[in-house]
A and B are shown apart, each in its own frame.
Chain A
Amino acid sequence: MTNTETALKETLASIEGATGAALVDYTTGMALGTIGGSKSFDLTVAAAGNTDVVRAKIRTMEHLGLKGEIEDILITLSDQYHLIRLIKGRGGNGLFLYLVLDAKRANLAMARHQLKKIESDLEV
């Protein structure tokens, strides 16, 4: 049983190479909590923008008639990884965890594994 603050702190502490994370409501695009980020990397802006990424992917899958559910979405930049993990909120709102990783330090497989664990601890 973890609260949001602890879960976000744990995300940054336990995932090698993580530089920022946000928990986002994807209907509104609102970041319910953020950790890390910097003046030049505003996580609330990233949260709102990545909502469109999630929406677009879900729509495309519906058009294609794919029945599977998205577990996570990975975006690789030359120096960063952005990992989006979808979570089902029990209060009726769809959420996702958004994680920014330093590509040089991060281990993607481990990061995905850890994120899955944090999600189950969060019990949102």
Chain B
Amino acid sequence: MEAGPLPGVGRPDPGPPVDPAVDPSVDPSVHLAGADRSAPVPPVLSPMLSRLAEERATGVLTRDRGVLYLVEGQVVHAESPATPGLDILLTSRGALGSDGWWEAVSEAGAERRVGRFLVDSGRLAAGALELCHLGALYDAAFFTLGASSGPARFRYGVAHWIGPVRPVTVGAVERETLRRRALLHRIWPDPDTDTAELVRTARAVDVVLPPRQRTVLDQVDGERTVSDISRVLGRPGFHTLVDVRRLAAAGIVTTRARTVECRAPETTAPPMSPAPSVSTVTAQAAQAAQASADPDVALLRRLRDALEAL
């Protein structure tokens, strides 16, 4: 395939200025996700990130679950090992052939303008790149800004090869991350399924599952985690988190560790199974459940969790 002409060289511009809504009546300006609205300031997720935004820093912020690239204090790109990157999202759905992707990377990677090259060479519509990139940015930022993250470090002056697509403010990224956490919590308050190996429970699928959830369920094999499934399906990691929490809420999926823990009391140690230390309370509960007609400890546990979450 022939490579398209190289776009005119110029300094990557940081995108259009962001204008906060000022008029109380109809506001004619376009707000792309990330444009700073005059909304209440969210609790700070990362003091370091806020400081970098204030000083309009350019470089890359590395945390233990991912990286955020900044240009003049705005987030321009994010990546996390917990979720598929833009390359997988674009190629696995057929939006772009993987040849087209790699050609763009080799043609324009050194100049750090792969995004522009994809559009200018006609491989991808500007809207498609923008939305896909924006989706991937918020997705990776959600994981990068995860609560369990350890210390962060920042390297000044580092830029990503994708180049400028659509910068968003740090405030918008933080707000969206918090909103997404709340959304997950509302669906099912137990975060265990977010990172652990997943298994199907014995519960029959007695409800009509939406196709998206069914596709996710088909990938649950006792080994894969949410991020493995996202990569197999070429879906943003957060989308899979949502589907898996819904499946957990319906009692169809749980973590492998939890099923091992639940089964332990009723067995007299089969040779292959690990011997988990089960508290006497759990053991008693399990025995009580066995004594009754329906030994569904998982159900009781879910009920307890749900009541606690009220």
Contact = CB atoms under 8 A, between A and B. Distances in A.
A binds B: yes
Interface in A37-90: 37-40, 43-44, 48, 58-59, 62-63, 89-90
Given A32-B32, A91-B135, A4 B127 contact: yes
A5 B30 contact: yes
A27 B30 CA distance: 22
A91 B120 CA distance: 19
A119 to B, nearest CB: 10
B24 A5 contact: no
Given A30-B33, A38-B24, A39-B21, A3 B126 contact: yes
B31 interface: yes
Interface string B133-145: 0111010000000
B151 interface: no
A45 to B, nearest CB: 10
B125 A30 contact: no
Nearest to A51: B183
Contact of B32 (A2, A4, A12, A38): A4
A8 interface: yes
A63 B95 CA distance: 31
B309 to A, nearest CB: 19
B65 interface: no
A25 B27 CA distance: 22
Interface residues of A, number: 43
Contacts of B183: 28-29
Contact of A2 (B25, B28, B126, B132): B126
A63 B127 CA distance: 34
A123 B24 contact: no
A91 B126 contact: no
Most B CB contacts (10 A, CB to CB) among A12, A59, A91, A123 go to: A91
A58 B30 contact: no
B94 A90 contact: yes
B242 A91 contact: no
B260 to A, nearest CB: 31
A103 interface: no
Interface string A12-25: 10000001100101
Contacts of B135: 25, 32, 89, 91, 93
B89 A92 contact: yes
Contacts of B234: 92
Contacts of B128: 89-91, 123-124
B27 A37 contact: yes
26 contacts: A1-B125, A3-B126, A4-B130, A7-B127, A9-B30, A27-B239, A28-B239, A30-B179, A34-B31, A38-B25, A58-B210, A59-B208, A59-B210, A62-B208, A62-B210, A62-B211, A89-B132, A89-B135, A90-B94, A91-B89, A91-B93, A93-B132, A93-B135, A93-B239, A124-B125, A124-B127
8 closest A-B pairs by beta carbon, nearest first, are A91-B132, A90-B95, A123-B125, A3-B126, A33-B32, A27-B239, A35-B30, A34-B31
Given A27-B212, A30-B180, 16 more contacts: A2-B125, A2-B127, A3-B127, A3-B130, A23-B131, A30-B176, A34-B31, A35-B28, A35-B31, A36-B26, A59-B210, A62-B210, A62-B211, A90-B128, A92-B239, A93-B239
Interface of A: 1-5, 7-9, 12, 19-20, 23, 25, 27-40, 43-44, 48, 58-59, 62-63, 89-93, 95, 122-124
